């Protein structure tokens, strides 16, 4: 049975012009995502610029999102950290704050061997929250392949994987070789992932297109592919930014385009160039053709 069905938004962190966290805007954003039909929230992932937050900011972002969600949708907290002790600290904080689970990258500060990856998840399972392993071999040195995940099926709190390798063929292998739930992790492969067996979607670009994304998900789950494919094709040019390093900037610039600014990204992420802005604007305009669609 799926534990994390639906769309879980990897929530951006809004910043004020002075680069401090804009907590009032964050609260508004969470209310809007829930009202637009999102099924869950994932703060302090890469989309939330967790690595650019101080520990105090990171904790307050998590606490604010859980408070505003107020049980309306589950919150799964990004717990990535450079050491086992620090990751455990974020897991314990998430549990105390009321999170329903954590999303957890493998070790991020060096290239661990297979035994160390397994030990990482074994140890952090002791934090007492369900874990969604995050497979992102582009931003980490570890690839959580189906055979490696199969070696970890004994870990009690490891219940799902966010699959971001870009190879949808892996989904059936993971489902065959483990009991893990698979969540689509790449926005521009989400429909293919649903067809392959993914039951949920941890989405980035959905921050600014929640209603369109919700319609796509519902059509896919209902098997209404003739209706889903045209919508998906219009969303794809914008969704393709999800697999690019500038994906956070693309999301934040899209908010500017609709008159709901959420600030710039923090360095080392730099603002988009004018050429990049034009590219994002064109893709976003096409994606918004379905703004008025009713679920």
Which active-site residues does the annotation give?
134, 162
Candidates 204, 208, 183; CA nearest to 194 is 183
**CA–CA gap between residue 232 and residue 75 (Å, rounded):** 26
- Chain position carrying tokens 């879980």: 8
Candidates 213, 232, 286, 225; CA nearest to 254 is 286
**CA–CA gap between residue 203 and residue 213 (Å, rounded):** 9
**CA–CA gap between residue 280 and residue 265 (Å, rounded):** 16
Work out the number of other CB atoms within 10 angstroms of the CB of residue 48: 26
Candidates 262, 288, 273; CA nearest to 32 is 262
Q: List, as one string, the DSSP characters of 103-129.
A: EE-S--SS---HHHHHHHHHHHGGGSS
**CA–CA gap between residue 152 and residue 180 (Å, rounded):** 10
Q: Secondary structure of the chain: what % helix, strand, coil (to 5)?
A: 50, 15, 40
């Amino acid at each position: 049975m799926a534990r994390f069905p639906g769309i879980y938004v990897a929530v951006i962190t809004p910043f004020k012009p002075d680069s401090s966290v804009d907590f009032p805007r964050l609260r508004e954003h969470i209310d809007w995502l829930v009202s637009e039909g999102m099924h869950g929230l994932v703060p302090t992932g890469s989309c939330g610029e967790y690595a650019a937050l101080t520990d105090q900011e990171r904790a307050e972002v998590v606490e604010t999102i859980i408070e505003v969600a107020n049980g309306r949708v589950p919150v799964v907290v990004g717990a990535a950290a450079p050491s086992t002790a620090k990751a455990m600290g974020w897991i314990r904080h998430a549990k105390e704050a009321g999170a329903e689970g954590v999303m957890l990258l493998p070790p991020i500060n060096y290239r661990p061997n297979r035994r160390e990856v397994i030990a990482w998840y074994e140890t952090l399972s002791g934090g007492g929250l369900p874990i969604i392993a995050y497979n992102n071999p582009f931003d980490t040195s570890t690839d959580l392949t189906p055979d490696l995940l199969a070696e970890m099926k004994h870990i009690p709190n490891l219940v799902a994987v966010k699959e971001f390798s870009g190879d949808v063929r892996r989904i059936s292998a993971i489902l065959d070789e483990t009991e893990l739930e698979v969540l689509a992790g790449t926005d521009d492969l989400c429909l293919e992932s649903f067809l392959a067996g993914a039951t949920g979607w941890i989405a980035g670009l959905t921050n600014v297109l929640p209603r369109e994304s919700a319609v796509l998900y519902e059509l896919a789950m209902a098997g209404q592919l003739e209706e889903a494919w045209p919508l998906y094709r219009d969303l794809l040019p914008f969704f393709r930014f999800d697999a690019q390093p500038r994906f956070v900037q693309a999301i934040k610039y899209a908010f500017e385009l609709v008159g709901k600014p959420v600030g710039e990204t923090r360095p080392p992420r730099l603002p988009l160039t004018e050429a990049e802005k034009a590219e994002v604007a064109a893709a976003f305009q096409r994606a918004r053709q379905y703004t008025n669609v009713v679920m």
